[in-house]
Amino acid sequence: MMRLPKRLAPFVEAFEKVSLICQVDKFIIAAICDRESGGGVYLIPRGPGGKGDKGFGHGLMQIDSRYHAKWIQKTAWWEPEENILYGARLLRENLDYFKGDEFPAIAAYNCSRAKVANFVNMCWTDINVRNVLIDRLTTNDNYASDVLERAEKFRAASAFRAV
């Protein structure tokens, strides 16, 4: 059973379902949701139908209306599963583009695939240096590393409680 902080608990079923549909780690999806909106806690108004990022971010996964206007106009973006599914599809596209490399795929979710691709396409002898530089492109210079840390905490808590 997937165990998450109370603020994310109402969306466990959606994370699990969407994970299967998109073939994306459910803990990473939950971690992105937590980072983006705190499960809706950080949004105005609070909840899945709230907005953030100066009104540009929509819903739990903070789908940006500047880049995804058509989707926002034609769907019920405020519905948790719909919003989580779209966010997971964006992440899946990034994972495919970066050949399964989670770090740049997650960073690109935050700051765009084009920005991240410039760093990934360089020859790196040290992957850690690459990741630090990629993270510097993201919000608070730590988006991808923070999401991966959250995902690991969620995974560990779930494994611990399942015993």
DSSP 16-56: HHHHHHHT--HHHHHHHHHHHHTTTTTSBSSSTT-EEGGGT
State mean pLDDT over 81-85.
Answer: 98
Better pLDDT: 22 or 125: 22
pLDDT confidence of residue 43 = 98
CB contact set of 3 (below 8 Å; sequence gap of 6+)? 154, 157, 158, 161, 162
| pLDDT classification of 81: cutoffs 50, 70, 90 | very high
- In the chain the domains, ranked by start, together with CATH numbers, are 9-162 (1.10.530.10)
Angle (nearest 5°) at CA 66 between 22 and 134: 65
State mean pLDDT over 126-150.
Answer: 96
CB contact set of 129 (below 8 Å; sequence gap of 6+)? none
Phi-psi region of 50 (alpha: psi -120 to 50; beta: other; left: phi over 0): beta
pLDDT confidence of residue 40 = 98
Given a cut of 90, whether residue 161 has pLDDT beyond it is no
Q: How far is CA 120 from CA 6, 32, 128, in A?
A: 36, 21, 12
State mean pLDDT over 18-37.
Answer: 98
Contact 19, 158 (CB under 8 A): no
State mean pLDDT over 140-157.
Answer: 97
- Distance between CA 115 and CA 137 in Å, rounded? 8
State mean pLDDT over 59-71.
Answer: 97
**Helices (H), ranges, the chain:** 12-22, 26-37, 69-74, 80-97, 102-111, 113-120, 127-135, 143-162
Given a cut of 80, whether residue 12 has pLDDT beyond it is yes
| pLDDT classification of 162: cutoffs 50, 70, 90 | very low
pLDDT confidence of residue 118 = 85
Given a cut of 60, whether residue 100 has pLDDT beyond it is yes
